[in-house]
Structure formats: C-alpha cells, structure tokens
A = this chain, B = another copy of it.
Amino acid sequence: MELRQLRYFMAVADELHFGRAARRLHMSQPPLSVQVSRLEREVGVPLFERSTRRVSLTPAGLHLQARARRILDEVDSVRGEMRDYVDGLAGQLSAGFVSSANYTVLPEVVQLFRARRERVSLTLVPLTSGEQFDRLRDGTLDIGIVRDEVPTGPSSPGLTTEVVYEERLVMCVPTGHPLASRTEVTAEEIIDVPMITYPRSLMPGFVDRVDEVLGISAGTMRIVEEVVHQETALGFVAAGVGASILPESVRQLVPPSIAVVPIAGSPTTRLLAARRTADDDNAVCAAFIECLHDAAASLRAAQPA
C-alpha cells in the first residue's frame, strides 16, 4: 500500500467516476484504473462497484475512504511541520554568549526569541569569544554573541560576524585610587597604572580593542593579573590589586568600593553576532539575530546616553 494509491483511491471515491478523477489527478484514466484495482487486489476486497454507468463505494471502500482521508491529512500536516523546520519556526538553536552580554542585550533577546519562536528549543551556553569561534567552526554552536571580533577578518575564517550593540569602555579603579575622582582619564594616564586584563587566546577581539584604545602594543602594559570574567576583574579591582578597562554596562555590577571613570574620546566596545558562513540560510539563526537587533534597539531607546 502506497500513498499514491490512497490518493488515487480518494480521488475516485470523491468523484465516483474514473475519468473525472483521472482528470483531477492530471493523468489518464487507464493507469488510474490499474492502480485502484491493484490496491483492491492488495487489500483483498473490492473498494468500488463499477458498471459503465455508475461507480459506487462498497462498505469496505466507504471505510477506507474515512481512514485514508485521515492518513492523507496527517501526511499533509507532517509536510507543513517539516516546512516549519525549513522556515525556522521549529527546531533547535545553540547560542553561545560572552558573559558580559548578560548585562546588555541577552535577557531581552531570550525573552523576545522565546516569544517569537516558541517551537524552537534554545540552548544558551556561556563561553568566551574564542571558545565560541571554535565551537561555531566544529558545528557545536549555531550562533555566538562575541565581543569585538573583526568582522569577516582573517582571525575567523568561515565565520560571518555582524555588529549588534555598541557601548563605551570605562576604567574601573578602587575608590582610593588617585584617578578615582576624575571625570575622565586619557590613555596616557592609564599606561602606568597596574592593569587587570584578559588572556588574548580566549578574548582576542576585546584584548585587541583595549590595546587599540590605549594606543600601545600589548607587551608594554603593566599587567598584574589575567582573568576570564568581568566579575573576577572587579573583585581584584575592589581588592586594590589594580585597575581594569571594561564595558560601561559593568556599572550594574560595581560595588561602592569601585569608581567608574570614563576614558577620553569615549572609545567603544561592540557585541557581535557570529555564525558559520556555510549555513547562512539557517532561518532560526536569522530570527535570533533579528531578536538581537531588536533587543539592542530597545536598549538604546531606554538609555539614550
């Protein structure tokens, strides 16, 4: 028994006329007759009573009509459901994110995405930018929210990036620090300050960015500590170990013992959406990126600084 036969059978059952049914199926009458009688032979019972003047359903045919309708309808809806996977209305998305995204776009993105694509199961993985690049390449991750990677740059072959959100860089110092009361500091003033920074391997983009802001090569900074998370960096700052350059959104995290000082020229750091260039037709990814942009827009609207 094949679906084709059920479809043919249904057409004849509806029309009660092999010729008309064949026309409806865009085929000629003889193969239709053949297929129907083949189906009858298979199930072992006549489905139609035919004469040259009248075709009618047998009890078995009547029964099959009801059942076949259900089956064919089900097949149709499966087709639609499969389409939903193509269109990104259903499926799965593994999204990586740098932990600092938690304080900007991430909460809203998740909320938006879950509302818009409730049949997509979203997995969120906190990872550094570097880890995300690796996992995007090996396919373990569908999309990454990374910081300051150069778009389409040589450091990320096979990956596409797109700017999502931009914010200013600020310097965090202990409140007792000489620069703590300043309304602004310059790069020159920062160079001599003992600095808490990040391993380049894990956060290439952001580290490059900071170097760029300071206008120096990485080696010349006075690095007293390398940490992986903003929270850790702030802990060291609060403990008086040194200063740290961070995205302005950390204001939400700083205790009273830490002063946040803007940097001259308001240099910025950016969140980027990164994905494999190979599957840029992934509709779920596209929808997620749209949510990212919308969340960023609503963030900017809320803080029109």
Binding site for B on A (CB under 8 A): 1-4, 43-45, 59-60, 63-64, 67-68, 70-71, 74-75, 78-79, 81-83, 85-86, 90-92, 121
Contacts and interface: CB of A to CB of B under 8 A. Distances in A.
A91 B60 contact: yes
B75 A71 contact: yes
5 shortest interchain CB distances as A-B pairs: A43-B82, A60-B85, A44-B86, A45-B85, A59-B92
The listed residue with most B CB atoms (<10 A of its CB), out of A70, A71, A79, A82, is A82
Contact of A44 (B60, B63, B68, B83): B83
A2 B1 contact: no
Contacts of A44: 82-83, 85-86
B63 A67 contact: no
A79 B3 contact: no
A1 B70 CA distance: 16
A3 B2 CA distance: 5
Given A1-B79, A2-B3, A71-B74, 19 more contacts: A1-B3, A1-B75, A2-B2, A3-B3, A43-B82, A43-B83, A43-B85, A44-B82, A44-B85, A59-B90, A60-B85, A63-B81, A63-B90, A64-B78, A67-B74, A68-B78, A70-B74, A71-B78, A74-B74
A68 B85 CA distance: 16
A78 B68 CA distance: 8
A67 B81 contact: yes
A75 to B, nearest CB: 6
Given A3-B1, A4-B2, A60 B78 contact: no
11 contacts: A1-B3, A43-B83, A44-B83, A45-B86, A60-B90, A60-B91, A63-B82, A63-B85, A63-B90, A71-B71, A71-B74
A255 to B, nearest CB: 43
A123 to B, nearest CB: 11
Contacts of A86: 43-45
A86 B102 CA distance: 67
Given A71-B71, A74-B67, A92-B59, A43 B79 contact: yes
A45 B89 CA distance: 13
A59 B91 contact: yes
Contacts of A2: 2-4
